[in-house]
Structure 1
Amino acid sequence: MVVDCAALPAETAAAEAALFGGDETPGLVESAGAGTLFLDEIGDLSASLPARLLRLIAERRFLRIGAAAPVETQARIVAATNADLPARVAAGAFRADLWFRLSGIRLALPPLRTRPDDLQDLAPHFLRRFAKTERTFADDGMAAILAHPWPGNVRELRNRLEQAVLLADAVALGASDLFPERANRAEPAPSPAVDPPGDVVEAATETELLSLAEARDTAERAHIQRVLARCGGRIGDAAAALGVSRTTLWDRMRRPGIPAR
């Protein structure tokens, strides 16, 4: 049973009812049964809910809204977040006791850009999943996949493959099919400069003088702004189009100072 903590109602009573149920209506926790209760984006949890979750994790039981007798749960509790929870705890933005309860076993998932072997497995997997006929990758297509930083990780890869399968005509998907925005982007032409007579050298453009990290951040900022513009400034729609969570998109917008509108 997946609980999107960022999407829980803002009102405390409504959020508690969604999680723990009320009267004769079971909530998400009870619906997990003896399976797994997955608390996604736990860093976005409303400030009013940690105390109830602490009891759930510590005592393995909870109270329905308005009920007197507690209900026991056998569900395994797994939480995930893109946020740096130790930093939030230090800043007083996340309860330390809840963090210690949740961090019994911690698994850090490295970003997709650091796992080229996974990329070479996941890309064909999604291609087979979305393509109704036999499709492959051209050499430049797979090279582009391996070179891309994938800020949206697996969700971004999945969305790009689905889009390429739907929109591209070629059987072998190339870089332009996977990253059409690059083909549409006007590249500055290099300006030739004459040094001593007879020797023509190519002057480096401003873009070429950027470091790799700066060039990547510049391209990411521009792409986020384009997607936001196409989505009318709606953060949720833009996050879905980019294959990332709302929290991740807010963080990517905050660092370079991209306005929400």
Structure 2
Amino acid sequence: MADPEQVSTSVNALLEEYKALRAEILMRLDLQHKNMNLLLALVSAITGFLVKFANDHGVSGSGATLVHSEIVILVPLAALSINVFLWRHSDHDVAIIDAASYVERRLKKAVVTSLGSGPYLGYEDFLSKRRRERGRQATRLVSLGNENVTMFFLLAIFLAAGWLIRLSNSSHAANAHEVFDVLLYLASALAIFSLAISILVGGAYKRISPEDARAKSKTAKSTEASSPGDQTAEGTDALALTDPQVPAPPDPLTKDAAYPGESEP
């Protein structure tokens, strides 16, 4: 029987490690919220400046309007900045996933080994199940996270505005039209990269619990494997087609079908 004092010391050490990881997760979540608030402030400032300039000089047409001014370079520049904020958000997500996975797969197992089976440290597993439930009840887009959806919505708006300016006006952005085009192409390419990262991170959130990984592994194995009876029947059919000495299986639709050599009833 294990020494109670030794078990208590071991469990206290595990709980201290759990507290440190939980503090890191909360810190990352707080940084994500600050990241989102900073992005909203930046987008609001850029949008407000562009709207004011358009009200004073007009949107398009002759003269120093918004579309023909170098100020319009802020549109693709804003889209490029949103990609950077998305990467920072995903970086925090990855750190949160690592900490939560360690708690669920290592710390929880160590506590169970010390104290026996029980509902210990189940918060990460609860969050993982809640994410799956929300994904089934709503849409796949929810798996990206609400803040990610908002960021991608803003990114889509600025990219759409940039491409509209690029395709509808050949003399856009005055002398800075080449810089405008480069920034727009770069922001569009990085948007695809940001979307791929967000989808991968959203899927990783659903695999925090080891039960999810085991269920996925069992599903893959059951899909690859087929029943021995089916394999035997398929092998007999294939061999009968290539080797005339091997009798073909009887036709199930024929009542009196029998293999050669068998006596008729």
Q: TM-score, normalised by structure 1?
A: 0.19
More helix by share: 2
More strand by share: 1
**For the pair shown, which has the larger CA radius of gyration, 1 or 2?**
2
